[in-house]
Amino acid sequence: MTPEDLEQIAAVLNVAERRIVDATVASVDRIVDATTALVDATAASLRAEIKAAEERTNARIEHVETTLLTEFHKGASPMEMRARTHAAVLRAIDAVL
């Protein structure tokens, strides 16, 4: 083999190597793009699920707060009446004394 033949073979190998590298880079780019899209879609889905869970939790908390307040006022109303009655009785006793 002559030096020219060796140079020609080296040139062909360089071209083949460049094509393989370019194809590999393109393939990796496609994989990265697909993975990025999948991660973005998953993140969006998770954000939506978290928001829905927060809304359900807030609704449940609001329901519990409303129930507690309602029950408190049911109990407070008779207590207020008793307190007023007791106060009226004490005032009447004070007036007599």
pLDDT tens digits along 3-52: 998 999 999 999 999 999 999 999 999 999 999 999 999 999 999 999 99
The pTM (predicted TM-score) of the whole model is 0.56
The closest of 60, 61, 57 to 49, measured between CA atoms, is 57
58-70 pLDDT per residue, tens: 999 999 999 999 9
Tally: H helices and E strands in the chain: 1, 0
